[in-house]
């Protein structure tokens, strides 16, 4: 029994998804023989986002699972909005996610065929040229409760329709002056079936067909033809097309297509704190609200990549959310959880302090530096150790000191002893202030007996903090991103004015070698990546990929 028939709870159905059940059934019945052929059909009018990633994973993985094929097909039927810059970006993103298409195709390659098919429909009395304008067509269409009215042009003769359609193509009419409509049923309870427009006039150059056409097919007419020509077996799309399926089927039935593709709808991905439509994302880019489509705060694949997300994490996320027939919103914390899970065993740790406070260890020899052995990844011993310099002057994180500690604060405060990770036990003795009352430095002492790895068991301390040697510290730029969008008081998503989180910090010297795109765990802070665009030999800019703590609850 298909999952679609179950009570819809919005719960994801992972692993065996309902789409695979449909395919299994079709294979059993040999509806398309042994073939499984899917496609990913982006419109090149923007960069891909995490919602597209879901569709990409679904289409390509389904083909993989059945030993079938998956095409990349550009839905370039709307020349006004499309741009070739996006084509390169889309391909880079699909490949980066780890998929390779069987064929790369363009809907516009089938414009001639689509035109011929339209003539076939006219000849069958199944399409007519209509002179109503857009407003009138809307008026005539009726509502969910009331049937529509037939166009006064509906009963034009086949000959007249053929001539007018040809004239439309020849450029005799202006944009919007005439349309070609399917002749179906103005009383259909499904509004999509009330004589939908299938061709419109648009005097716009097309990147592929140039000025050959000034008429362009509508999506609902073009898409089934594209799928059918390519031999797609299962045409997977999002839920809003469910009501368009009868039209999809009608087109192929009227064209007498054998074994027409099966359209299957699934719920699109929505994420908390995330706007996902290309139109909105494009506005953010065009208005300069973000630093391009690949701004690390953007939910675009390019943005997530620059932010430091891995393809493995995104694929894992898409697997976990599964496919469902019910619309729901996934907590963005799950996506963050997936990247954390992926990175935790892969990356090395580094010491970085923000909002630094200087420490002077008054009983430590002035000219001495020790190389402390520190593990690169506590959970993965194979990642080895590194040497981190330690000397009399150090920096600690601003958050690791409180002059007047609150309850249960176990880190540095006057009179308290803590462990400096990988080094010694250190006691804070005195706070030295600047004239303006701000903290200049902390005078501390160390206990040479307590050196890390020496097996010291004399006493225990409750707090462990990290540190950076002052002499060799590397100053780095850090961007602790927050969500680009947050809920306002009305519960709507609005721009977060503090999403950039720009700050700086001191890092241990090894960080000066970070290559663009290299990832680390900044110890006790989170996962970071050296920004691929802004990091140079001399300046290191790090993006916070994700913090260490998960707010995601199963
Ligand atoms: P947008 O509204 O964001 O512009 P779109 O659906 O218009 O998205 P297309 O380029 O037409 O973008 O989409 C290509 C494919 O990606 C389609 O099959 C579409 O259904 C799928 N897709 C788009 N957004 C999502 C989403 N949020 N979740 C799942 N699939 C999606
Ligand atoms: Mg679209």
Indicate whether residue 277 lines ligand 1 (CB < 6 A).
yes
* Nearest ligand 1 atom to alpha carbon 238: 20
Give residue 458 CA to ligand 1 midpoint distance, Å: 62
* Distance (Å, whole) CA 330 – CA 270: 6
Nearest residue (by CA) to ligand 1, atom 1, is 277
* Distance (Å, whole) CA 494 – CA 275: 9
Burial of 196 (0-12, 13-18, 19+ CB in 10 A): buried
Give residue 41 CA to ligand 1 midpoint distance, Å: 9
Give residue 48 CA to ligand 2 midpoint distance, Å: 11
| pLDDT, one tens digit for every residue, the chain (554 residues) | 333 333 333 344 444 589 999 999 999 999 999 999 999 999 999 999 999 999 999 999 999 999 999 999 999 999 888 788 899 999 999 999 999 999 999 999 999 999 999 999 999 999 999 999 999 999 999 999 999 999 999 999 999 999 999 999 999 999 999 999 999 999 999 999 999 999 999 999 999 999 999 999 999 999 999 999 999 999 999 999 999 999 999 999 999 999 999 999 999 999 999 999 999 999 999 999 999 999 999 999 999 999 999 999 999 999 999 999 999 899 999 999 999 999 999 999 999 999 999 999 999 999 999 999 999 999 999 999 999 999 999 999 999 999 999 999 999 999 999 999 999 999 999 999 999 999 999 999 999 999 999 999 999 999 999 999 999 999 999 999 999 999 999 989 999 999 999 999 999 999 999 999 999 999 999 999 999 999 999 999 999 999 998 776 66
Alpha carbon separation from 250 to 185, 220, 224, 256 (Å, rounded): 12, 10, 9, 10
Does residue 554 sit within a domain? Answer: no
> Is 28 a known active-site residue?
no
**Is the same domain home to 98 and 137?**
no
Ligand 1 pocket mutation, candidates 52, 81, 303, criterion most atoms within 8 A of CB: 52
**Is the same domain home to 243 and 98?**
yes
Instruction: Name the active-site residue from 183, 278, 306, 307.
Output: 278
Does residue 164 sit within a domain? Answer: yes
**Is the same domain home to 62 and 157?**
no
CATH number for 405: 2.40.240.10
Instruction: Name the active-site residue from 43, 92, 319, 341.
Output: 43
Task: Determine the pLDDT at residue 16.
Answer: 56
Phi, psi (5° rounding) for residue 395?
A: -120, 145
Taking the whole predicted model, whether its pTM rises above 0.85 is answered as: yes
> Is 268 a known active-site residue?
yes
Domains: count for the chain: 4
Does residue 553 sit within a domain? Answer: no
Does residue 21 sit within a domain? Answer: yes
Q: β-strand 417-420 against 464-465: which pairing, if any? A: parallel
Does residue 397 sit within a domain? Answer: yes
**Is the same domain home to 230 and 89?**
yes
**Is the same domain home to 15 and 64?**
yes
Does residue 552 sit within a domain? Answer: no
> Is 7 a known active-site residue?
no
Nearest residue (by CA) to ligand 1, atom 14, is 42
* Distance (Å, whole) CA 136 – CA 159: 25
**Is the same domain home to 461 and 355?**
yes
CATH number for 327: 3.40.50.620
Indicate whether residue 202 lines ligand 1 (CB < 6 A).
no
Indicate whether residue 41 lines ligand 1 (CB < 6 A).
yes
Alpha carbon separation from 172 to 32, 180, 198 (Å, rounded): 43, 14, 18
**Is the same domain home to 458 and 481?**
no
* Distance (Å, whole) CA 345 – CA 378: 9
Nearest residue (by CA) to ligand 1, atom 15, is 42
Domain that holds residue 185: 109-217
């Amino acid at each position: 029994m298909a999952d679609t028939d179950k009570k819809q709870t919005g719960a994801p159905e992972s692993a065996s998804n309902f789409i695979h059940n449909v395919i299994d059934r079709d294979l059993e019945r040999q509806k398309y023989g042994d073939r499984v052929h899917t496609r990913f059909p982006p419109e090149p009018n923007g960069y891909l986002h995490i919602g597209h990633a879901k569709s990409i994973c679904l289409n390509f993985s389904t083909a993989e699972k059945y030993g079938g094929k998956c095409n990349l097909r550009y839905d370039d039927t709307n020349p006004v909005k499309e741009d070739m810059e996006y084509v390169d970006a889309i391909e880079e993103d699909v490949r980066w996610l780890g998929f390779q298409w069987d064929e790369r195709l363009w809907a516009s390659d089938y414009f001639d065929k689509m035109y011929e098919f339209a003539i076939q429909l006219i000849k069958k009395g199944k399409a007519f040229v209509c002179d109503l304008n857009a407003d009138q067509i809307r008026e005539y269409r009726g509502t969910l409760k009331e049937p529509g009215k037939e166009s006064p042009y509906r009963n034009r003769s086949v000959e007249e329709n053929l001539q007018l359609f040809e004239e439309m193509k020849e450029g005799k009419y202006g944009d919007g002056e005439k349309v070609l409509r399917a002749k179906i049923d103005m009383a259909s309870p499904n509004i999509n079936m009330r004589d939908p427009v299938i061709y419109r006039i648009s005097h716009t150059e097309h990147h592929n067909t140039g000025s050959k056409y000034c008429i362009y097919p509508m999506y609902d007419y073009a898409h089934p033809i594209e799928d059918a020509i390519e031999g797609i077996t299962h045409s997977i799309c999002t839920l809003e097309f469910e009501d368009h399926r009868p039209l999809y089927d009608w087109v192929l039935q009227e064209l007498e297509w054998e074994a027409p593709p099966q359209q299957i709808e699934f719920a699109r991905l929505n994420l908390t704190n995330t706007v996902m439509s290309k139109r909105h994302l494009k506005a953010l880019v065009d208005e300069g609200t973000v630093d391009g489509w690949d701004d690390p705060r953007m939910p675009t694949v390019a943005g997530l990549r620059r932010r430091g997300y891995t393809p493995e994490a995104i694929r894992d996320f898409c697997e976990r959310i599964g496919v469902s027939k019910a619309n729901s919103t996934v907590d963005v914390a799950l996506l963050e959880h997936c990247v954390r899970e992926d990175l935790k065993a892969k990356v090395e740790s580094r010491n970085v302090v923000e909002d630094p406070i200087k420490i002077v260890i008054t009983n430590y020899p002035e000219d001495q530096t020790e190389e402390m052995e520190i593990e690169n990844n506590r959970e993965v011993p194979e990642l080895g150790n590194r040497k981190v310099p330690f000397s009399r002057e150090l920096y600690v994180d601003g958050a690791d000191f409180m002059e007047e500690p609150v309850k249960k604060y176990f880190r540095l405060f006057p009179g308290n002893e803590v462990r400096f990770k990988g080094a010694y036990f250190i006691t804070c003795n005195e706070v030295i202030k600047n004239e303006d009352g701000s903290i200049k430095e902390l005078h501390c002492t160390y206990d040479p007996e307590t050196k890390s790895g020496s097996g010291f068991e004399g006493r225990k301390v409750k707090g462990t903090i990290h540190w950076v040697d002052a002499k060799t510290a590397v100053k780095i730029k850090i961007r602790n991103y927050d969500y680009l969008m947050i809920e306002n008081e009305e519960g709507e998503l609005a721009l977060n004015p503090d999403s950039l989180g720009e700050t700086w910090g001191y890092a241990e010297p090894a960080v000066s070698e970070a290559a663009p795109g290299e990832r680390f765990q900044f110890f006790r802070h989170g996962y970071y990546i050296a920004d691929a665009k802004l990091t140079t030999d001399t300046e290191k800019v790090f993006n916070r990929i994700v913090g260490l703590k998960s707010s995601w609850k199963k």
